[in-house]
Structure 1
Amino acid sequence: MIQGLYRLLIELTNGRWSSGLLKRFARSPVSRFVIPSFARIYQLNQKEMEKELAEYPTLHDLFVRTLKKDARKIDLNADTVVSPVDAVLEDVGPIKETSEILVKEKTYSIGEMLGDEDILSKYLNGTYMILYLSPSHYHRIHSPVNGTVTKQWQLGSKSYPVNKWGLKYGRRTLSKNYRVITEVKTNYGHVAIVKVGAMFVNSIETTHKGSELVKGGEIAYFSFGSTVVLLFEKDIFQMDKTIHTPHDLKMGERLGILIK
């Protein structure tokens, strides 16, 4: 019953009209009046923001805020993988030969997530990591590795919640939601950065120029809280032993190392 009710509420609140209303409100001058309460409710760290709270003209501008220089420390060791976002590490595990992963007791298909059988073959028996951003998080996305972009593509249309409730009760949220996928070739193998849209707002804006990515460099931003899924080829990634799930992460924090 709970599952059915939850899905009904998702469908009712995730239509084109409701998404459009939220987008228009968040970008309107009127939305600035809710900024103080939003910052208080979500306990935003105003000391690290590049601007004062009163300087953000709309709620959207606050969502996509930038931080002061050196607000995040990037692990720049050549073989490390860093968190591309401020987020909660919700899950990590193996990608099965069938392309399936098990998240919150639900099975998802990496093949459906990627939508490309040729690219999928690289990640079978590899590793996945799921990083969830809440509305309180910094929404800019950065490269977790140094490398060259080999392909970038978009899939999906609507977006359902990707928090723990969405993962538990939603239908194929990670592989059905609107998403922008960037595949990167490193000196150790391939890494896919899957940026997954969240409830209401599908906007994922790409900001990097050219094909070369530098670890810690900005590559995109979300217009609302969402999720990043990292996929690693077989036998190239070793997670840091100090990390567990769930685990709060800051952008630039070490997730593990790449190995040959």
Structure 2
Amino acid sequence: MLQPFYRILIELTNGRISSAALKKFSRSVWSRRLISGYAKVYNIDKEEIADDIHSFKSLHDFFTRRLKADARMIDDDERSVASPVDGVLEDFGDINVKKQIVVKGKSYSILEMLGDDTSVQRYLNGKYMVLYLSPSHYHRIHAPVAGKVISRRILGRKSYPVNRMGMKYGRSTLSKNYRNITEVEHEVGHMAIVKVGAMFVNSIIITDESEHLSKGQEFAYFSFGSTVVLLFEKDTFHLSESMPIPSEIRVGEKIGYVRNN
């Protein structure tokens, strides 16, 4: 009974009108009154924010805040893959020959996720990683490796929740939600950075459209908490042994290594 009820609930709360209303309010001056309470409830470290908390003109501005230059250190090992976000490493595993990943017991089609069979072929038998951002996390996205951007595209229209309940009861959220995809060719292969929209707001903004990315470079942000799925080409990635699942991670922390075949 719970599963169909939850599905109906999240579909009703993800309509065009409610999405537009929330988006409009979060960008209005009226939402500014909620910033201090929001920071307190989510225990956000105000000392690491680049600007004074009272300088933000709207809740959206606070959601997309930048941090001080020294707030996140980028791992300097040339072979390391750095976390692109502050969040929770929710899952890690294999991309199987059926063009699927299995996250928390549910299968997701990477053909559907990427929308291009040529891209899918790159990642068959490779690895995937799921990074979840809650509303409390820093929302800007940084490059996990240095490399050349070979593809950018946007797929999907609506978005359903990507929190634990949404992942459990939603329909193929990771592969069907609105998503902004960046594919990068790095020193030993390719990887896809799939930025997945969350319920209500599909705002994933690219802040740097350079052809080349440096590791740790900011290049996008979420307007609200969401999820990043990383896909790695076969035999090009090794998870750091110190990474339990689930675990809290921060931008720039080493999550693994790229490696030759």
How would you bin the TM-score normalised by the shorter chain?
over 0.9
Question: Which blocks of at least 5 consecutive residues in structure 2 are unaligned?
Answer: none
Q: 5 Å matches for 1:131-142?
A: 131-142=131-142
Give the Cα separation in 2 of the matches to 1:211 and 1:139: 22
Q: Does 1:167 align with 2:173?
A: no
- Cα drift, residue 78 of structure 1: 1.1
Relative to the length of structure 1, the TM-score reads 0.99
- For 1:236, the equivalent position in structure 2 comes to 236
- Cα drift, residue 208 of structure 1: 1.1
Q: Which amino acid aligns with 2:163?
A: N
Q: Which amino acid aligns with 2:209?
A: K
Give the Cα separation in 2 of the matches to 1:76 and 1:111: 33
Measured against aligned partners, the alpha-carbon deviations of 1:198-234 in whole angstroms (never above 9, x if no partner) come to: 0111000001132000000001000000000000000
- Cα drift, residue 9 of structure 1: 1.1
Give the Cα separation in 1 of the matches to 2:102 and 2:150: 27
Question: Which blocks of at least 5 consecutive residues in structure 1 are unaligned?
Answer: none
Q: Which amino acid aligns with 1:77?
A: D
- Cα drift, residue 161 of structure 1: 0.7
Give the Cα separation in 1 of the matches to 2:196 and 2:54: 30
Relative to the length of structure 2, the TM-score reads 0.98
- For 1:254, the equivalent position in structure 2 comes to 254
Measured against aligned partners, the alpha-carbon deviations of 1:7-38 in whole angstroms (never above 9, x if no partner) come to: 11101110110000000100000001111111
Give the Cα separation in 1 of the matches to 2:93 and 2:165: 19
- For 1:151, the equivalent position in structure 2 comes to 151
Give the Cα separation in 1 of the matches to 2:87 and 2:3: 26
Q: Percent identity, aligned pairs only?
A: 57
Give the Cα separation in 1 of the matches to 2:93 and 2:244: 11
Measured against aligned partners, the alpha-carbon deviations of 1:143-189 in whole angstroms (never above 9, x if no partner) come to: 00000000100000000111111111100000000001000001100
Query: Do 1:104 and 1:164's aligned partners in 2 also have CA atoms closer than 8 Å?
Result: no
RMSD: 0.7
Give the Cα separation in 2 of the matches to 1:115 and 1:186: 21
